[in-house]
Each structure stands twice: as C-alpha cells, then as structure tokens.
Structure 1
Amino acid sequence: MASYLLGLTGGIGSGKTTVANLFQARGINLVDADIIAREVVEPGSEGLQAITEHFGVSILQADGTLDRAKLREQIFADDNKRLWLNNLLHPMIRNTMLASAQKAESAYVIMVVPLLFENGLDRLVDRTLVVDISPELQINRTAKRDNVSEVQVASIVASQISREQRLARANDIIDNRGVMAELDAQVEHLHQKYLALAASKTKNE
C-alpha cells in the first residue's frame, strides 16, 4: 500500500490528465475523482437510487443511467439542490478514493481531483501539485477540446477558486504553457522528489 498521497489539481483545461498520465507512465498509480464520481452514480448504486428518490425518475435516461445534463440544469438553478447532492456524493467519492489509494502498490499514489481545494480534499493528502496555465489559455483550450463556447467555459472558470488562490495553496506547481518535452522534464523532476519524500515518510512510520 502506498502511504504517501499526492493531490493533483488545476483549473479546467489546464492539462491535469496529461500530467497524470506522465506520472502513470512512470509506474505511479492514479485515483481519479472524475471516474469515481461516475462510478458512485452507476445503475444499481446507492448514489443513483438516492438521487432518483430525491429528484424523481425524470432524472434518468431511457436506459436507466443518470441524465447528467438534466441534473446539472436542476442544481445550477437551485442552491439547495446542489447542496443536497454534494452532501450525498462527496462522502461517497472521498471514501471510495481513499479505499482505492490504500490498494495502490506504487511508491506513492496520485489523487487527481479537479476541485481539490474547493471541496477540502487537500486535507487528505500529504502534498499538493497544481497544473497551471493562464485563464485565457484555459478558456481557449477547453472551448476547442469540448466544442463549446468560450462564454460557457469562462463561467466554469469563474465558478472554481481563482488561479491566485490555487497557486497560493500549492506545494508544487507545474507550468503547462510550453511544449511536451518541457512538461515531461518537470514531471520527471517532481517524480524523483516524491519518491524521496515517500521513502522518507515510510522510514519514519
């Protein structure tokens, strides 16, 4: 079991997945909050059952899966609904992530969490790493990637904590404005650093 936990985060479109994959290529196990968030609302799950009871069966698609677009509309229009949903899902996601991290066999494990600081999940990890680009690049990259308007992306960026707040709370920062070779070099430097920190923690336990 990996006892050293790293929290990887960054704003939308910053390149978290690319960075996470570079660590994974070095043999590091990942625990992805987005994947787990989908798993806890799969058909047959306690999460989906509770959501259906609260919002009604109209929140489901014809195949019995969650209609995410419809749910998103409802919770963005109503703070109470959003709060209820967060109170239901966040503990489920947190507990599943920690259980997955305990099964990891790499020297350290990375928890990839888009809203690491917003949801207070930085308290669960030993160290935090932020992937950073400018808000302008975030908006431009995400609009192209997801084929959505820049206005829509800008509203998502605005709903997350500010770049300044995120950077102020980071233990380590990766600058993702450059080319892949530069990104890989930053990952390699940090990988060696985390291997040493994980070894040191294990020795002191």
Structure 2
Amino acid sequence: MFLVGLTGGIATGKSTVSNMIQSLGVPVVDADLIARQIVEPGKKAWKKIREAFGDDVFLESGELDREKLGKLIFSDMEKRRMINKITHPEIYREIRWQVFQYLLQGEQFVVLDLPLLYESNKVTSYLYKTIVVSCEDEIQLDRLLARNQYSEKEAIARIEAQLPLETKCKKADIIIENSGSIDNTRNQVEGIIKLLRSSKQHIYNRVVYGGGLIVFIALLCWIVYYVV
C-alpha cells in the first residue's frame, strides 16, 4: 500500500475533490472529520481545550463552539499553537490507526485529506505523491465569503493564516485546478486516480518493507535461539 496526500487552501474545493475521490472507490482518511470527532464532549482533547481556554469557547450543550474558537485562534498565533498542540497528537494517532486498518484490508493506496499537510509537515516523508487543489485568488475569496459569514477582512485573514497556495503548488506532485466547472474538476480527478491505480508502488512497498520485516524477525529469532 502507498499513501497520497491531498491538500489545498481554504475554500479552494478540497472537500469537493475528496468526495469525488471517495465516489471512485478510493479510501480517504479525512483529518477535518477526525478533528471534529476528537473534540466531542468527554473526549481527551475536549477536556484539554476546556482546561486551556475555559467555558467561553463551549456551547451550553457542552459542545465546542468551533466558530468562536476559530475567531480566537486566528487572531492569536500563540493560542493557535496551543490548540494545535492539544489536537494534533490525537488527530495523527487516529490517522495512523485508520491507515493501519486499510493496510490490513489490502488496499492499493489511501488518500490522506490533510488541510495543513505542508504547514505541519508531519507526514510528507511517508507520501508517495501529494495533490494540491488550487484556484484563482479572487475565486477563493469569493467562495469563502459565500460559504461563511465572514467580513472580507476576516476572510483574507483566514486565507493568509495558511501557507500561500503558490507555495503549496510548488511543493505538489500533482495540481488540480479548480477554478472552472465541476465537470472539469471531475475529469482531472478521474485522470489522477487512473494514473495512481496504474502505479506498482504498492508492490514495491510490500516487497521492500515486508521483506525487511521478515529479515528483522528472522534475525530476532536467531539472536534468541543462538545468543540468549
């Protein structure tokens, strides 16, 4: 099995692309979904956020007020680092678990949907390919304003809080240009998945890493039998 990273900027259409990939039968590990799950009432990250930020960022129901917390951390770099320190270990632990399950199921490859793929830089060295969903700057801003109840100033701050799209595109192996029609985007996605399915990287990984594991176990058995 091999891993493919999917990322993009806020409101560039990454979630749309992710849904298209899943509709083609490819497993996707969604970091945004995991991030919502780990802060459900009673979870470890939920408790730590309450300790660090107090009751002000929670609704009466006990659920995290994501909008209020978002405004707080996007205006304060130190608080943003604090929330990342609380949530990222839990998010990546769940990502590893889901990837392991797909490995046991014999999947050829898995797509990791990671909004902060390059910002966190925690998994890039494990990826076979990276995909960036991009669009024109004006379209990105218009989409964000239409999607959320932000002022233009707030929307720009959200965009600028992430690594610039231009930088992400330079780092990417594959770029999906999502400024046009939905059909155009779907055609790009289908072509990319076809290309990934033609790859033999999963066979290489099984031979190299599987063979390495066998050698390690054999060496361990030899040490136990002849040395210990």
Question: TM-score if structure 1 supplies the norm length?
Answer: 0.89
Q: Does 1:146 align with 2:144?
A: no
Partner Cα distance (2:3, 2:111) in 1: 6
Using the TM superposition, give the Cα deviation of residue 33 of structure 1 relative to its aligned residue in structure 2, in angstroms.
0.9
Q: Gaps spanning 5+ residues in structure 1: where? A: none
- Given candidates 169, 183, 203, the residue that maps to 1:181 is 183
Q: Deviations over 1:84-141 (max 9, x none)?
A: 2211211111111121122224421111111110111423422200111111110011
The corresponding residue for 2:92 is: 94
Residue 2 of structure 2 aligns to which amino acid in structure 1?
A: Y
Q: Does 1:120 align with 2:131?
A: no
CA contact (8 A) 1:28 1:109 kept: yes
Judge which range, 35-44 or 142-151, deviates more.
142-151
The corresponding residue for 2:57 is: 59
Partner Cα distance (1:118, 1:77) in 2: 18
> Are residues 137 and 74 of structure 1, via their aligned partners in 2, closer, same or farther at CA, if it must alter by over 3 Å?
closer
Percent identity, aligned pairs only, is 33
Q: Gaps spanning 5+ residues in structure 2: where? A: 209-228
Residue 156 of structure 1 aligns to which amino acid in structure 2?
A: R
User: Helix, strand or coil: the match of 2:119?
Assistant: coil
Q: CA RMSD in A?
A: 1.9
How many pairs were matched up? 203
CA contact (8 A) 2:34 2:94 kept: yes
> Are residues 184 and 87 of structure 1, via their aligned partners in 2, closer, same or farther at CA, if it must alter by over 3 Å?
same
Structure label with greater radius of gyration: 2
The corresponding residue for 1:201 is: 204
Partner Cα distance (1:41, 1:167) in 2: 31
Q: Deviations over 1:129-166 (max 9, x none)?
A: 01111111100112112243333222211111112211
Q: Deviations over 1:37-79 (max 9, x none)?
A: 1111111100011111222233321111112233234334443
- Given candidates 22, 25, 33, the residue that maps to 1:24 is 22
Using the TM superposition, give the Cα deviation of residue 16 of structure 1 relative to its aligned residue in structure 2, in angstroms.
0.8
